[in-house]
């Protein structure tokens, strides 16, 4: 390299350093650039956290996180659904200011990427849900806390400045369920996100040896008396004492009345059920196939989304999870009508690999990728991301208004 080149490189480095020092939006880049314990964590590509997590997790824990239901056809489909989509960029839009904020259930979120409820965080890292909460707080994401949290929700709430939501697995003991919901709401949970795709678990062939270590406590289920409520049933083998398979549409009013905050159904795939959700008073739906962990051979959630959005017809927010790994996946889901998306495995791999900093890094990478995807498609805000961003947008969501933000730029 000539000395002239070295000089230019130096100037570029200095200019970058100055630039990153300036903007508030660049503060997370500054953190990435600063040498720290997080220096060994990947700075791009959330997929890189999986092999790191695998090295740190027991085989039992890794298999539990990674695997899916049946032959994992739906789990693979979740990725393939995104991979099939093609984008149509708009050029020469002034993208110097990008805005990823969304408003959901009365909270302004810095980004439309939330952390999905995942059970047993202390199985993946000693600091468990507290590390997740700190990572979510630092990176500006809302955190949906699982019923199967291994840390008390009150304590989690103290470790994040961002919204927390409560994911509910309804228990057979409804008085206990009511108490559980109300404790979560009193601790600060802004919504109750009831999981409706799990009356029983899917056939998880890679999780047959799963067993929760004795030292981990399901903190929010403390005091639940399983013996008293587990029914004796002919097909009892498929049921699990910690899911109530009798919970149904008629119980939704009851849940709404005890929750007193918005109630969201997580795990809606059939557009007919989307309509029923609205008719039965749900405040939101999450299109999810549980990361491909339950019923196998269902479609990719991104393929389901346009029909769900059509069925719900703007009456309540539609969100999506399962298979989100890239900023372009987030962009695609928003373009097809999702108000927000959730990630599961990627942040758990981040947690296992680097605790709070790992969680923060995963969220930051996805957020940066979303911003890059916005800039490169000429979309400056979440509101500007619509189905015109697809190469073949007629196949995506024909019913959505076609509008090119570039036209008015």
Catalytic residues: 290
Nearer to ligand LAC, 320 or 397 (CB): 320
Among ligand LAC, ligand FNR, none, what does residue 343 contact (CB within 5–8 Å per kind)?
Answer: ligand FNR
Nearest distance in Å: CB 217, ligand LAC = 16
Nearer to ligand FNR, 95 or 336 (CB): 336
Angle at CA of residue 349, ends 202 and 98, nearest 5°: 105
Distance separating alpha carbons of residues 57 and 51, to the nearest angstrom:
10
Per DSSP, helices labelled H in 339-386 are 345-377
Among ligand LAC, ligand FNR, none, what does residue 344 contact (CB within 5–8 Å per kind)?
Answer: ligand FNR
Total interface residues for ligand LAC by CB under 6 A:
5
Distance separating alpha carbons of residues 71 and 205, to the nearest angstrom:
8
Distance separating alpha carbons of residues 271 and 276, to the nearest angstrom:
9
Give the residue closest to ligand LAC by C-beta: 119
Which positions from 167 through 206 interact with ligand LAC, judged by CB under 6 A? 198
Distance separating alpha carbons of residues 247 and 316, to the nearest angstrom:
22
- Phi, psi at 347, each rounded to 5°: -75, -25
Neighbours of 236 (CB within 10 A): 10
Distance separating alpha carbons of residues 96 and 32, to the nearest angstrom:
21
Which positions from 73 through 92 interact with ligand LAC, judged by CB under 6 A? none
Q: DSSP for 160-195, please give it.
A: -SS-EEEEE---S-HHHHHHHHHHHHHTTEEEEEEE
| Sole residue written with tokens 């059939």 | 270
Question: Binding residue for ligand LAC (CB under 6 A) from 26, 87, 98, 119?
Answer: 119
Nearest distance in Å: CB 104, ligand FNR = 17
Query: Taking CB under 6 A as the rule, does residue 122 contact ligand LAC?
Result: no
Per DSSP, helices labelled H in 223-312 are 226-229, 252-259, 271-279, 301-312
Q: Is 231 helix (H, G, I), strand (E, B) or coil?
A: coil
Question: Binding residue for ligand LAC (CB under 6 A) from 125, 172, 290, 339?
Answer: 290
Nearer to ligand LAC, 50 or 371 (CB): 50
Nearer to ligand FNR, 185 or 341 (CB): 341
Nearer to ligand FNR, 177 or 195 (CB): 195
Contact 180, 220 (CB under 8 A): yes
- Phi, psi at 186, each rounded to 5°: -65, -30
Nearest distance in Å: CB 103, ligand FNR = 22
Among ligand FNR, ligand LAC, none, what does residue 324 contact (CB within 5–8 Å per kind)?
Answer: ligand FNR
Question: Binding residue for ligand LAC (CB under 6 A) from 122, 293, 325, 361?
Answer: 293
**Residue ranges that bind ligand FNR, judged by CB under 6 A:** 64-65, 78, 116-119, 146, 148, 167, 195, 266, 288, 290-291, 293, 321-324, 343-345
Nearest to 328 by CA among 274, 286, 385: 385
Among ligand LAC, ligand FNR, none, what does residue 266 contact (CB within 5–8 Å per kind)?
Answer: ligand FNR
Nearest distance in Å: CB 85, ligand LAC = 26
Nearest distance in Å: CB 116, ligand FNR = 3
Nearer to ligand FNR, 98 or 155 (CB): 155
Nearest distance in Å: CB 254, ligand FNR = 20
Torsion-angle region of 229 (φ positive above 0: left; ψ -120 to 50: alpha; else: beta):
alpha
Q: Token digits for 46?
A: 């959330």
Nearest distance in Å: CB 68, ligand FNR = 9
Q: Is 114 helix (H, G, I), strand (E, B) or coil?
A: strand
Nearer to ligand FNR, 124 or 384 (CB): 124
Task: Tell me the β-bridge partners of 263.
Answer: 192
| Residues binding ligand LAC (CB under 6 A) | 119, 148, 198, 290, 293
């Amino acid at each position: 390299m000539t000395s002239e080149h070295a000089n230019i490189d130096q100037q570029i480095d200095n200019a970058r350093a100055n630039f990153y020092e300036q903007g508030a939006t660049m503060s997370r880049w500054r953190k990435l650039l600063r040498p720290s314990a997080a220096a060994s964590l990947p700075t791009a590509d959330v997929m890189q956290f999986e092999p790191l997590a695998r090295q740190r997790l027991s085989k039992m824990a890794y298999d539990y996180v990674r695997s899916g239901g049946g032959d994992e056809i739906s789990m693979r489909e979740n990725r393939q659904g995104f991979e099939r989509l093609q984008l149509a960029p708009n050029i020469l839009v002034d993208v110097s200011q990008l805005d990823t904020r969304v408003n959901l259930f009365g909270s302004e979120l810095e980004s439309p990427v939330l952390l999905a409820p995942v059970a047993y965080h202390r199985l993946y890292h000693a600091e468990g849900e507290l590390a997740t909460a700190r990572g979510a707080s630092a990176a500006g994401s809302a955190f949906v806390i699982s019923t199967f949290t291994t840390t008390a929700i009150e304590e989690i709430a103290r470790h994040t400045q961002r919204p927390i939501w409560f994911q509910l697995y309804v228990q057979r003991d409804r008085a206990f369920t009511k108490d559980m919901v109300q404790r979560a709401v009193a601790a600060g949970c802004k919504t109750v996100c009831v999981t409706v795709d799990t009356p029983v678990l899917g056939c998880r062939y890679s999780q047959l040896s799963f067993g929760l270590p004795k030292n981990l406590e399901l903190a929010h289920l403390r005091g639940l008396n399983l013996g008293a409520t587990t029914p004796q049933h002919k097909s009892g083998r498929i049921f699990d004492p910690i899911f109530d398979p009798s919970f149904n549409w008629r119980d939704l009013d009851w849940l709404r009345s005890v929750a007193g905050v918005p109630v969201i159904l997580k795990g809606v795939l059939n557009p007919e059920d989307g309509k029923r959700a609205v008719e039965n008073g749900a405040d939101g739906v999450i299109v999810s196939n549980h990361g491909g962990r339950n019923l196998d051979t269902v479609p990719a959630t991104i393929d389901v989304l346009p029909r769900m959005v059509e069925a719900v017809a703007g009456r309540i927010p539609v969100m999506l999870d399962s298979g989100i790994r890239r900023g372009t996946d987030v962009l695609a889901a928003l373009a097809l009508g999702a108000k927000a998306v959730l990630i599961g495995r990627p942040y758990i791999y981040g947690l296992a690999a680097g605790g709070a900093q790992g969680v923060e890094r995963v969220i930051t990478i996805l957020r940066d990728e979303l911003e890059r995807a916005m800039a490169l498609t000429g979309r400056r805000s979440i509101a500007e991301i619509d189905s015109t961003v697809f190469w073949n947008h007629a196949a995506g969501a024909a019913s959505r208004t076609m509008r090119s933000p570039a036209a008015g730029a």
